[in-house]
Amino acid sequence: MRTRIYLKDAAQWEPVSRAHRRLFSEILPANTLIEAGALIGDYEVEIEAEASWKGSSAKDFGLECSCF
């Protein structure tokens, strides 16, 4: 698994990293944190996640995705 976190303001990296650690504590994905400056919409943070588990789904790992 790999996640990429895009931040509007890099000063917010600590609380975002704490939330990421809580959500992914059992999986420990590779992670990249990027200051993007301007995100589309009125968002402060965007998280992109990629995963591949043969025969498994994200729900098997307690993860659910919500799209807006």
Domain 2-61 grouped into CATH 3.30.1330.40: yes
Query: Cα(16)–Cα(57) distance, rounded to whole angstroms?
Result: 25
Residue 26 has pLDDT above 90, yes or no: no
Both tokens of residue 55?
């025969």
Which has more pLDDT, 30 or 56? 30
Q: What is the pTM of this model?
A: 0.70
Query: Cα(67)–Cα(45) distance, rounded to whole angstroms?
Result: 14
Residue boundaries of the structural domains of the chain: 2-61
